[in-house]
Amino acid sequence: MLILSENDLRSVLNYKNVLKALESGFVAYKRKGKFPIRTAIDSEENKTTVLFMPSSFLDKSGVKIVSLCENNPPNRLPYTRGIYVLASLKDGAPLCIMNGTYLTHIRTAVTSLLASKYLAKKDPKTLGIIGTGKVGTMACEAHLSHFGIEKIYAFDKLDYSLNSFAQRVTVGNNPNIFLCKDGNEVVSKSDIFITATTSNIPIFNSRSVKEGTHINGIGSYKKTMQEIPEGLVLRAKVFVDTLEGATSEPGDIVIPLQNGLVNKEDIMEISDVILKRISREDTDITFFKSVGFSLEDIITAELAYNESKKNGIGIEVDI
């Protein structure tokens, strides 16, 4: 069995090859895989959620175990920690155990890029980020790898994270980076903006969002979390990675549904956007909510495994 560390994953995964793999995976997954809704175990006293995310795709199966620790960022510890186990469906052999933290970061970042590729207006020049932690920074880098972004507007309530953001962005053609006083300043200046927080209350006012903007919500994952104001959901065309997950877990979608502000029938999966090549008007506001989908994990994990085997990367062990 192969063991892959974070450094191993960094050597075989990049924003471009993960984008290509995820794009193909979203097109094929309804015909070629099984993706049960994830199981969550909450520890209220520790402010930690552990997620178990199983899936199968083609001839592989896998499960990610990932811990989300709310107390970690203020102590400068990783919010997300996890592992991924990949196995063969042909003979049941365990194939690989890999770092699930970096896997989660890059697949989340690139899923947001995939949505922007299909839903953002043509040739966006300004990018916004609210929540400049690891996944938010990588989501920005993913967009810089694909679009000709000239300016980035950033905000985070943690000063150390915001002040170090520019130094942590290492991909792209040196865009101008502006540190903002709040979320409203970010969204008012951005063609595309990303929210990557675990806030329980909306982090900007919907009136600050200009026509033609595309929004990627990649932070909230519980019913009690709500980064996105309901007024924005009312104004926008809404898209998700998976209807089953997005309409049952994150407050960004669940709360507007419960309040009758949006109908489930009006929400479209990103796979349908790719397949049907759905167009948008220049004035449309588009909102993509990613709650995290096990398809994204197994596609990225298999890519990492195949590339590592091909290039002799990782450590083989006999268990």
Residues of the domain holding 204: 119-292
User: pLDDT by residue (tens digit) across 29-46?
Assistant: 877 899 998 999 999 999
What pLDDT is stored for residue 76 in this prediction? 87
Asked whether residue 89 falls in the same domain as residue 157, the answer is: no
User: pLDDT by residue (tens digit) across 168-217?
Assistant: 998 877 899 999 999 999 999 999 999 999 999 999 999 999 999 999 99
For residue 78, the domain's CATH number is 3.30.1780.10
For 35, which DSSP code? -
Asked whether residue 195 falls in the same domain as residue 266, the answer is: yes
Asked whether residue 280 falls in the same domain as residue 170, the answer is: yes
DSSP 3-state of 152: strand
Half-sphere exposure of 152 (CA within 13 A, CB side): 29
| pLDDT averaged over 10-residue windows placed end to end, the chain, 319 residues | 98 98 91 90 95 96 96 90 97 97 97 97 96 96 97 96 95 90 98 96 97 97 95 96 93 96 94 86 95 95 98 96
Residue 39 pairs in a beta bridge with: 52
Asked whether residue 129 falls in the same domain as residue 91, the answer is: no
Of 141, 133, 134, nearest to 116 by C-alpha is 141
What pLDDT is stored for residue 279 in this prediction? 78
> Is residue 258 included in any domain, yes or no?
yes
> Is residue 111 included in any domain, yes or no?
no
Asked whether residue 7 falls in the same domain as residue 89, the answer is: yes
What pLDDT is stored for residue 319 in this prediction? 85
Asked whether residue 141 falls in the same domain as residue 287, the answer is: yes
What pTM was computed for the model? 0.94
What pLDDT is stored for residue 278 in this prediction? 78
Number of domains in the chain: 2
Asked whether residue 288 falls in the same domain as residue 299, the answer is: no
Asked whether residue 140 falls in the same domain as residue 67, the answer is: no
Asked whether residue 279 falls in the same domain as residue 300, the answer is: no
